[in-house]
Structure 1
């Protein structure tokens, strides 16, 4: 379906320059007329506006003040908003869950913020087993809804993460069975940069559909409806096992062994090493290793035996529902971990001896830079062959993932709030350089969901030239490129 372009013509002809308003307020004034004041809020003291401005996982993004926030309830509203923004020449941002930590990817200063949080419809078709949902919910809401049908969708591993994660690939505890979240897409409703509303699927706008499966998120348009393949869900054997750092070697050996040898697609892990800025007192009180162990079924057999055999402080393994699983280690983990958070990512093969290099480089940096962060972590995320096979069986995604096993490494730093700009920049530069000190594997894609903007992850995709061409086709005048944040296609 294509929404009428007449509105864009009318907006473009509106005498914005006569009023002398800056682009952001001018766009807001027009949009208030066309969408009504109930869907456009420019009152910086209203609870609705503040909820949108402050609701970011990276608290740094909350320092930016939009000229107004638009709350669409349909794809037509999104189309009107984009056309009005284009006519005014205003900067803008699209916000779903607000979990991407990169500046201006879902935040904007003195421009229009399109907050999709009012678009929360979700449906399940028992005949086709397809799930349809709008982008405004977090994945925890979706999991709760589809659980009533004993089904789920492949999505985030934490309940509080928004649906936009799937556009960057989306790694799930179910991915070893079903591929990445984007592999489950069957049809997308997309509002293009010119305001047209189109369908993207394996039969319609095929190139757009390919690109939006992990190839740069909102770079090509705004997704206003997802239709995805749902999956059966039942009981899980899952939990966290927590160790002190004196078990670092044993745990890292177990993680590497799992990445290289596990062939059970129902078993999934994340290995995360955490460092606090507090003193150790020689007792490793500033650090811990937390394993996330998840098995799709009530009996994991010996899948996690290498981890449970290591002496540990805590073991919460037991029977859980899937909503329980995505609330590990505690409910509202996403919300409670809000801070001045930045991600970086690495990618490695299990046989290239970089596992210990990455871990040692991070440990040395964390020891040397206490005082600049309140938390830092390094996560090891396996990509087994069963995952890459499942992706290919569904047509593949924009990463065209090489055969597993290999693994992504996620690095997190949450800097001390209130640092001067100079100190903040210095901390980030040291963090960046630490990650660079572990060379990434050739021929493997960086994971967009965990990447920092300056890592230019799309350039690591074998499909990068194809994605550049698709970007030019759907954003020919670089409207999204020039007026909102996002990944580089240069």
Structure 2
């Protein structure tokens, strides 16, 4: 029986490899060798197979395609379909889930060469291709004193917006996907279409936070840009002995802040080092951002708590998304995995989640390099802004409520059984903190097994849209992504 299973797996692997090789050959003949590489030792290939979750680095595509436009993507998809090959679509490569932007023995569509950007001062609309990271995009639009709603870290790719996209500007303008006005999308069939409120409105709805590239490959974004100037922002770092005061301040901010220009992320960090009864293995880092020069008393509850470091000052938006240090996304590469929780702004919900997380951290020393628990408020001003722009696929209920991001970074070189065991234990810990039944999980921070789409009130609608635009399950079967089952 074992020999039979091994031969079956070997046959599947050989078939996948042959399909990938065939697709690569066809794509190269149509697009030219300047847009395709299969040389695993080239700088392009090595760079394209590096991911924020370094476990994904192990997957090696048969070739990597660097399209310049929608037609190149269409050509590649049709060749992939003809060869029955697996594939993946990569923008920034920040999603840690296996095969979401990585592929083994198939075709990797690396969108990094698609970097055209423009701004229309008459309409204030911004248009950009998916290549590069949000830091590049912010740098481009700052010359017009404008920006777009996107990632809170400069090094995160544009695919974040397709999963919703939380920004420091979200309390004013909604999620990143709420600012979409028109999308150019290459469908699984290879057809190039426009999605907007007037053209393919169902596809437009689904693409605003409803599963990323599940319905096709987005090759151009037209979004509503926003004015930007100086911001009062920075980090405040506390010893963990201040955890009760800080969690109380976070809770009060979530429940009572009404200034849409004020945004926070509250992060509790845990290191594997012994604490020696001095809490030196723990820290709290607050990210405080005010879209303007004078925050008034918006952050008073945080600044009044004794701290180790306070970097609050006037900053440009590109400086804000480099907090706490430039290149923080790139420097945090490792064996990273996310999980997510969602909770009402109820008394006790903050403290309970923190206590459960901290107890697990204390009981599992040596099994992680870093743990982080991030509190991400969803104020009513955000959900109002989303609804005012037509809403997104999450159909966000009125705030205030909050998402929790659970990050675990495991040690390099961990054996597969040990890795699986610690991930299972971490999964069970997160699941033990009950989520609110009527609130959506945040796709950007979700683990594959959490099935976040099923928490959306529009899930059945998204299933219908998925079936319409991917009728033979080409994308569902040949690339990774969220489950519509």
Q: TM-score, normalised by structure 2?
A: 0.96
Matches within 5 A, 1:44-443: 44-54=40-50, 56-351=51-346, 353-443=348-438
Shift of 1:370: 1.2
Deviations 1:17-56 (A, max 9, x none): xx997101111111111111111100111111111012x1
Deviations 1:398-448 (A, max 9, x none): 000000000000000000010110000001001100100100001100000
Distance 2:225 2:251 in 1: 31
2:7 corresponds to which residue?
none
Distance 1:103 1:237 in 2: 38
Distance 2:360 2:76 in 1: 45
Distance 1:21 1:343 in 2: 30
Distance 2:63 2:16 in 1: 17
Gaps in structure 1 of 5+ consecutive residues:
1-18
Distance 1:437 1:220 in 2: 33
SS at 2:161 equivalent: helix
- Which 4+ stretches in 1 moved above 2 angstroms? none
Distance 1:489 1:357 in 2: 32
Distance 2:333 2:444 in 1: 17
Structure 1 pair 352–473 and aligned structure 2 pair: CA distance change class (3 A): farther
Deviations 1:443-467 (A, max 9, x none): 1000000000000000000000000
Residue 485 of structure 1 pairs with residue 480 of structure 2? yes
Shift of 1:353: 2.8
Shift of 1:291: 0.2
Residue 35 of structure 1 pairs with residue 31 of structure 2? yes
Deviations 1:81-132 (A, max 9, x none): 1000000000000000000000000000000000000000000000000000
SS at 1:373 equivalent: coil
Measured on the aligned residues, the alpha-carbon RMSD in Å equals 1.0
* C-alpha contact 2:339 2:407 (8 A) present in aligned 1: yes
Distance 2:179 2:242 in 1: 38
Gaps in structure 2 of 5+ consecutive residues:
1-14
Q: TM-score, normalised by structure 1?
A: 0.95
| Residue-pair matches, total | 471
* C-alpha contact 2:16 2:105 (8 A) present in aligned 1: no
Q: 2:443 aligns with which of 442, 445, 448?
A: 448
2:471 corresponds to which residue?
476
Residue 25 of structure 1 pairs with residue 21 of structure 2? yes
Matches within 5 A, 1:454-465: 454-465=449-460
SS at 2:461 equivalent: helix
